[in-house]
Structure 1
Amino acid sequence: MSIIVGLLGYSIAALVYLLFSLLLLTTKQSGFQRQALSLVVFFTLLWASSGVAQMWIALPLGYLFGIETLRNALWFLLLYATIAPRFELSNFIRGPWRKKGLLLGMMFIACIQITTTLAGLQLNQFWLVTQLSQTVIGLWLIEQLYRRIDVSARPTIKPMCLGLGGMFAFDFALYANALITSGISFDFWSLRGFVAILAAPLVLLSARRIKRWSTKIYVSRDVIYHSTLLLVAGGYLLVMALVGYYIRYAGGDWGSMAQNGFFALSALILVSLFLSERLRKRLKVQITKHFFANKYEYREEWMKFAAVLEEDGVSPYSIALKAINQPFDCQYAGLAIVENGRYVVKATYNIRDDDSQAQLCLEHLAGQAIEHQWIVDIEELKEDTSVVPFQVSSNKLQQITKFCYVIPMSTSAGFKGVILLSSPSAIHSVNWEDRDLMRAISRQLAVFLNLHRSNLALAESQQFDTFNRMSAYLVHDLKNVLAQLQLMSKNAVKHKHNPEFIDDAFETVDSAANRLAKVVAHLSKKQRVDTVVAPFELKAALEQVVQSRSISKPVPQLEFTLNEAFELVGDQERFVNVVSHLVQNAQDATLEDGTICIRAGKQANECLIEIQDNGEGMSVEFIDTRLFKPFDTTKGNAGMGVGAYDAKRFVEDLGGHIQVTSNVGEGSLFKLYLPIHKI
């Protein structure tokens, strides 16, 4: 029996320290203490493996003693490095011999133990003395470490001291008894593996706590949860196997059938239990409650939260309600926001939108929760209403049985809302950590929902902005049509009996009709549509500008220095509109006795059109920041603020550019550089 216990103990110890060693290899931190810990865990793995070999194939004890000595030497070095302030290996190696003599001596002893065993020498009694001495040194170092370390740091080192102290104390009892009785007790020897197993988690716990070791090993709740399920399943099947064996042993001829039936029944029970959602939730609650300081794996919770927010095709309010209900798994939930001074239910879970109890919560608790930023615990309020900084009706509280929590949502931008939750089923009880999680999620959801509402408002504003832009361009076009008709009406007083004027009038009306047709097309298509680009005579177009703007003073003058047949390629009508608007701006900024001149010439490979006035002028800051900004006008209700912007965009669409020079009180000069496509 002792052999089975010993094999089992050493085998499990080897597996545990193998896992411990692999965990240490996955860490990226450096430092001597961390390297020493990795080495000592590896040698403990070798020691446990040697114990298996000794129990299984009678490996000579000398080999096991040699590996154990090396393991103890590394434990001593790790303990000393933990005791010594600012320990560095280089200083330790160059230091006095008295500090490193013990380590070198133990390494020498380990070599002697292994070589003498290889030579077939039996020095077991002497080796017992050396091993007993090592346990005494180990206990002394542990005592020194615990006594010298700062009191505030003792909780971090205490688990390792207990683990190593128990291991060295057990070995002390083993070797002391062996010296007294002149033989190693096999019962003692077979239990050493289990003692080493108990020491492993205690050392691991200290390894996580001691910052200088720089060894951070993470064990998630899911690992413990699934490990617990496997352990319970294994234990259950082991018990069922023993019971089944007993049934078969006691059942005689019919025992095999009874055993098989029992196994099938027990497997069915096991599967049904572990498929039970209720059992799984309770198991998670117990693991969280008893094995972890924090209830939640916040990294995983936040990743789940972010994944819910990324869902498509669902109302953002439903997404928000699902996100906050996910970690708590409440049976009932609701979300309402403040719109026009009243609460509007936007999303629900397992309740109607007009649920009476939800309405009670919104009427009597929601406003107070938002105002005081207080997570209202309704069950707590039923027992004592003085726990909250506001007044609430006890009679109304007694009518609320479906919901337990009212969680406020608000932002500095004015968004307000609440979330209603029933009693959580995913946790055993609600404490400060659950409230903090509720508060953190609700704040993020408030920002999320406020952003959603802001995007809706922005989209609506953009629609109105698009409509306003279209309207501004259309009004701009209509003003040009109006200018043509006003000019014709003004000249009709003097020339209405002139046949040439009548012909010109009909052409003007036809042109106005064409422009109005475009306006109607723009309105029907809800966008501004340009005509087909074609060559046109520049002089004729500029004369048309002068003629249309002659209705206002000062009347513009044209200076044309190019060939009479000089042509540009573009939309003639839009070109006339653009130049007309620039001239109109010059007229608005110039006194009636001032001057406005339109010049057309050639500079290098470009056509240069200049519009100069001696009016009010503009500052450099105005030109840089406001002149070409759309819908920014200095004319009040008389202007739309699109003329200069439209001119700049038109010239740039043709591949040219505009230059503006101006001084306040001296006038302005607009230069339009246009590419020449045909002369």
Structure 2
Amino acid sequence: MHPAMEAWPEVTSATHLAGACAAITVAVSLLGQPERFCGAGRKLALALACTGLWSLSVAAQGAWGMAAQAMLGLRNLSYLLALYHMFASDGRHRQVAQVVPVLASLVLVDVLGPLAHILEMRLDPASMTKDATYRLHILIAMLGVVGSLVLVHNLYASASNSARQILRWPAAGLAVIWGFDLNLYTVAYLAKSWPGELAALHGLAVLGLAGILALGASRRRELLAIRPSRTVTFQSLSLLVIGAYFVAMLGVAQWLALAGGEWARWWEFGFLIVAISGASLMLPSRRLRAWLRVKLSKHLFQHRYDYRQEWLRFVQTIARNGADAAPLEKRAIQAMADMTDSPSGLLLTPDDQGDLVLAARWEWGALDVPSPALGGEASAFLTAQDHIIELDVLRQGDRGIKGEGAIVPAWLLQEGRAWALVPLQHFGRLVGVVVLTRPPHDRPLDWEDFDLLRVVGQQIATYLAEHQGQTALAEAAQFDEFHRRIAFVMHDIKNLASQFSLLARNAERHSENPAFRADMLVTLRTSAERLNHLVARLSRYGGTVERLEPVALPDLAQEVAKAFPPAKVQVVAPEDCVVLGHRHALEQVLRHLLQNGVEASAAEASVLLSISRDGAQARVEVIDSGHGMSAQFIRNRLFRPFDSTKSGGFGLGAYEARELVRAMQGRMAVESREGLGTRFIIHLPLAQRPADSIIEKVA
């Protein structure tokens, strides 16, 4: 005999002796706690004592000894007695009509099985070696175990929620011992011989039963409660699904090997290849994992979300810092999208006109978002209602619970990936809107989604509002520093202008050479005009102009284009387009935008300056094919003073251009795509009425 086989009897004795000690110890402790387990404490103590004696009998004589078989019958009968007492504790033995007949049948099986075995051993021991007799005994034992497991299931399933907290311990313990028995008898029946190696571990099942009942009887069992997280549950069940798949696959392959005839091997290998290939394609699927996660959350947990885990992940995403950390706006989108398993999203924030424009995007670079993305009506609606909009409902033709269908633009409904709009409210002010894409496993939003997204939206709004406040304070500090410095510059320039003016007047009085006097006067007056012009320009950094007057845009555009190399700026303009503005301010705006476009474009590329009428306004577009800008940069850096990407730049050009356009009662918008180019759009009022010829502006 192989040495490893000779060790199994010792293993049998060791495990069963350990199980006997544990069972008898717990039985003694339960004798003093009759109220435990719905008053079945002493009945379970009796069952544990019988289990301990059965384990001792197996260790001494083996599983098929007469003493062991007799104690096995007593063990099972004591389990049934404890089960009936637990059913009877709240009157369910009268309500569940199947309990008494099942109990009676199981008692009969547990009495006849060991009794028949004992009689055969006394009358004809050789009969036990016959295959038919052996399999009959195993079938009777399996019948008793299956019926007992059904009874345990009914005990727990029909109990109230409060009773389940008590009955889960004995139910789990009995499921362990009878579950092991079922596997043991199944293997014994299929193998047509007693599996001594597996039976040697029977004592470990007794240890499990004793340990579970000991935990249930402990007065501090609440501290030992095991609550698996959703992650552990999902991973465990995923492994079970994978294991079940491969077991089924091997079972079918074995069946094909037995039933396939001469082509059996071909059928077997072909099936294995197809099954393994299918598993390799399906198991890594994100959609499959999302579907499984939704089903587990729906059927195994009271709530869809693990709020503790979601909050920890939310804080970790928002608080991420470092050189490689994404901007706060992008992190805000990701933090919300992670909760609903959305693969991407957008953040829209209000501009100065109250429209919602693109501020940031996360993993959604291909979408072309117009400017503005949502109009002022949508912003006002979301501010007043604070309502989460489910876009799939609107796509079905429904106007929505609060009439939100009227404010959602067509481009958003046509984008099939867009799933929900979540407003971000901070003390009654709309800070922004997050657009979420649909998760891999598509599903409608429910009350739990709405509650969670609303709270998360409020938290994100707080972070964004605080960030905006800090940014505004930093800009104010920079403005103060700039004003202090420019005050000295202004003072010096004004002194120089005054000195030149005085010099010019003195020269007129005292110079005797007419030619020299004339030349000096021209030079001094020109210098004085330039200095005064510089002073006026510096005074306009606040975005004010002296007055508005009619300006011919086509003529001004051609004049500005001449300042650049030939063919570098292409002008497309009607013959007559007169706007109400300030010529020098408009020239400054166009020069800045064209200069930026030329610098951003390739050397052989040109910049387009287009002028057209748009109702009662003129539309000016400066279009380049340069490297473009991200929505994040446009929103947070393009118009921020003192923030320049050029070495030595002040970062005032785009800011000043926008402020000058606003001072002329116009507005400026930007559309840009990284790698494609940028379009600056300016709207200015047309000078159509005589009363508009000259409007004084107050600085």
Which bracket does the TM-score occupy, shorter chain normalised? 0.3 to 0.5
Task: Give the TM-score taking structure 2 as reference length.
Answer: 0.45
Task: Give the TM-score taking structure 1 as reference length.
Answer: 0.46
- Which has the higher Rg, Structure 1 or Structure 2? 1
